[in-house]
Amino acid sequence: MVFGPKNQLVGLDIGSHTIKAAEVQETKKGWVLKKFGMIDIEPGAIEEGVVKNPQIVSNAIRQLYQNHSLRQNRVAISIGGYSVIVKNITIQNMPEEQLYESINFEAEQYIPFDINDVNLDFQILGDSEQNPNQMNVLLVAAKKDMVNEYINLIDMASLNLGVIDIDAFALQNIYELNYEAKGDNIALIDIGASKTSVNILKNNTSVFMRDVSLGCNQINNRIVSSVNCTMAEAEEIKRTNKADKLSPEELKEITSSVVSDWSDEIRRALDFFYSTNPDEEIKQIFLSGGGGNIKEFRELLALQSSAEVKTINPFERFQIDDNLDTDFLTQMAPQAAIAMGLAIRRLDDK
């Protein structure tokens, strides 16, 4: 089915370091990337998914729209972090309508928050393999105050909110669109500025999900400590590998130390998956986010996980509009994955 313009949304990935926006169009000949852009926000404006300074962030969103001549004011956004809980649960078989009525009761034992403080959603995955009288359900809970923060933020930016997704699901959607599922277990790992999410798929269904507090800001923080600079200056040093007070060797040492910590933490998450799924094997890992382009990290993770590690290309099956800079898109591809996953969402889809 080809969606018309009235169903389209701009994918808006609001990170703690950058905001990314993507606009795509589905045509009879396939998907087309019409627009993509990003803008940095001030350090501290968003911390661990919490909007600390909505005025700064909403101003940045408006500036991003202006810089890239975005006209569509309906957006899809996503949330993540410790205010969001995603769990696979097994419950007694019942019609979907009945589950809507009893979801609070079913979810209460799995959610570490007051059930009255969260918004709940679910997706029925099918019958349980162990018990034909039960069914598998993907349960999602997000704290209401966090959801309201983002609703308010989009309102302040003078935009209309069409969809609120989960970071890991947006990443999963763009992976499924661009890559053929082969039935193997796949791990999707997004390394953001302050948060890394791990999502393991089996037959394109999420079977394990975990967020860990690590990310690219760790490299920046160590640069700040070494040369006594600002976070913005540290980001520039990291990107350009140029600094009067920090040699390339010293920067490499900082990066090596941080990505070693990343690999150890991700390996622990994978080990936890294997402890409950001893007969399973993860064949491939796809990396996204700012850490996806770090070659040393990819090589180390491949060694520790015994899996093939790739950097995701969210533009793989997209025609690129002639007005876009393909070199820039190639460089920014891992960071664009969530925004692209949001951009393919449509109003009223599940």
pLDDT in tens, 25-55: 999 999 999 999 999 998 889 987 889 999 9
> What pLDDT was estimated at residue 350?
59
Architecture of domain 84-142: 2-Layer Sandwich (3.30)
Q: What are the extents of the domains in the chain?
A: 1-83+143-179+316-350, 84-142, 181-312
Measured torsion, CA atoms of residues 266, 192, 31, 66, in degrees rounded to the nearest 10: 180
CA 115, 198, 93: angle at the middle one, nearest 5?
A: 50
Dump pLDDT digits (tens) for 6-19. Answer: 688 999 999 988 99
Dump pLDDT digits (tens) for 215-226. Answer: 999 999 999 998
Architecture of domain 181-312: 2-Layer Sandwich (3.30)
| Domains 1-83+143-179+316-350 and 181-312 agree in fold | yes
Domain 1-83+143-179+316-350 - what CATH class? alpha beta
Rounded CA-CA distance 163/153 in Å is: 14
Rounded CA-CA distance 89/236 in Å is: 44
The stretch 134-148 carries a mean pLDDT of 94
Rounded CA-CA distance 119/150 in Å is: 14
The stretch 234-253 carries a mean pLDDT of 82
**Highest mean pLDDT of the ranges 131-135, 275-279, 288-292, 311-315:** 311-315
Instruction: Output the pTM of the full model.
Output: 0.92
Hey, what are 183's tokens? 């039935």
Dump pLDDT digits (tens) for 162-186. Answer: 999 999 999 999 999 999 777 789 9
The stretch 280-294 carries a mean pLDDT of 94
